[in-house]
Chain A
Amino acid sequence: MLCEKCGKNHATTHIKTVVNGFVKEYNLCPYCAAKEGYTTNSLAGMLSSMFGEISSGELPKKQTKCSVCGAAFSDIAKTGKVGCSECYKVFYNELLPYLKRVHGSTNHSGKVPESAPISVKEKTETIDELRNELTRLVAEEKYEQAAVIRDKIKELEEKE
């Protein structure tokens, strides 16, 4: 499909907007989309552009594909969307640096479903308590004590 604006380039950006109560659809090429102000400002968009930094040219020719959904890492990099839950195992190492950039952490410290092993639960609960303590110490401006707690959290997070 060609871009509706310039009629020259391939349309890659599909926009659905609601203007005055009516749904309108546009198909634009990346250049016209950017000109119209439809840049990828969402987090998913940012993510795909971050993936894009390394995925251009650097990927090996023979790509690993996820056995459940068939996605390759280049698919994930292009869309900013992961194919299925199994992909997180298959592409764990590739995804890790981006998760770190987006969240500043690569370790879950929230709710753990009932069926998970107890050790996981205990670990996340401890980290959680330490984080609470850290917030409290920072609020009280006790930075030296806060640094000790921060290192403890780091240590726990890095432990396998």
Chain B
Amino acid sequence: MSNWYSKSAPMDDIAVSSRIRLARNLKGIPFPSRMSLEQRRELNKRVKTAICESNTPFAKSLKYIEMRDIPETQRYAMVERHIISPEFASKGQDAAIILSADESISIMIGEEDHIRIQVILGGLQLAKAYDIAEKIDNLLYDSLHFAFDEKLGFLTECPTNLGTGLRASVMLHLPALENSGEIDSLSNSVGKIGFTVRGMYGEGSKSSASLYQISNQITLGISEKNALDNLKIITTQLIEKEQNLRNNFNKLKIEDLSHRALGILENSRILSSEEMMNLLSRVKLGKSMGILNLEVSPIKLLIEAQPFMLMQKYGVMEADERDIYRANMIREMLCDI
């Protein structure tokens, strides 16, 4: 089964992915930070039962996995595929996850909140991702009765998620905007209206490969629909700006830049993670501008060549050795068309 990053999707020349996360908690038991081991296990069981015994056709495609059964390498590889959060990967032991076969749906149990429903899709598909997340939310609510307050909405461990518990985010590839130096000022103005711009791996992460995540910050006093509509408006404007800047580029320079990048990727024998990201960003730019005729998705390569993804495939090794495996794998994937 192919993942969200393996399929082509609407607007994916610039919009890499759309992600929805709903934070939900159960009544009567402490939030995860104050939970006992027994309560954690009980929680896992209750959520598992709620999904598995719902008997809906879609629930049958979901699989329950305890994190203790997954080695650390695989857990961090899941972070690199954007299926779970880094915090969740480091929690390990008594947390559990419910995952769909294509990994577009992941329900984290015992993260910062009792339940975090995540749906990730390629391209710009916020509404579709939200629809799926809401279906799961309704399904779980029937048997788990989430903590809800008339004034404060869905109750969450961190008050920053209170209300809708919704975090919607879009990952965009913005090399032209980055090159123009406008990202900081855009990030400031987006910040004033309750949205935030972050690097590829969320909170605190630096941007690489010109990938930026835009997400809503405010969850109380705004409806899901308005938050999603606003995010879509901002995203569309950013895409438009990016496209205008790209159109003003010197075409020959971009041709040179992207062909060179592809040349290095097709020929290198040692490739660091950072170099790989930079080169693939240029290849992606060339591909979306119709310069490079490439079947494989640069984002798929970028994700599969991340450190833990490589170690999941080839075994645990030091960074130097990984750079050799990375170069070989990318060469194979590029020539295997």
Contact = CB atoms under 8 A, between A and B. Distances in A.
Interface residues of B, number: 59
A108 B34 CA distance: 25
Interface in A59-114: 68-71, 79-86, 88-89, 95, 98-99, 102-114
A131 interface: yes
A148 interface: no
B146 interface: yes
Nearest to A18: B76
Contacts of A99: 152, 159, 162, 220
B34 A84 contact: yes
A128 interface: yes
Given A23-B90, A47-B159, A102-B159, A128 B225 contact: yes
A20 interface: yes
B70 interface: no
Contacts of A112: 148
A115 B148 CA distance: 10
Given A99-B220, A128-B225, A81 B33 contact: yes
A56 interface: no
B217 interface: yes
Contacts of B145: 115
A21 B160 contact: no
Contacts of A145: none
A21 B159 contact: no
Contact of B159 (A85, A98, A107, A132): A98
A107 B155 CA distance: 12
Interface string B83-104: 0001000100000000000000
Residue from the set B150, B159, B220 with the largest chain A CB neighbour count within 10 Å: B159
Interface in A19-44: 20-21, 23, 41-44
Nearest to B27: A85
Given A18-B86, A111-B223, A157-B221, 12 more contacts: A21-B310, A21-B311, A43-B158, A44-B160, A47-B159, A69-B34, A80-B158, A103-B218, A103-B221, A106-B152, A111-B154, A131-B223
Please list the 8 inter-chain residue pairs (A to B) with the smallest Cβ-Cβ separation, ordered nearest first.
A105-B221, A108-B153, A21-B307, A85-B147, A110-B164, A69-B30, A103-B220, A20-B319
7 contacts: A21-B307, A80-B159, A82-B31, A83-B33, A88-B155, A105-B220, A108-B153
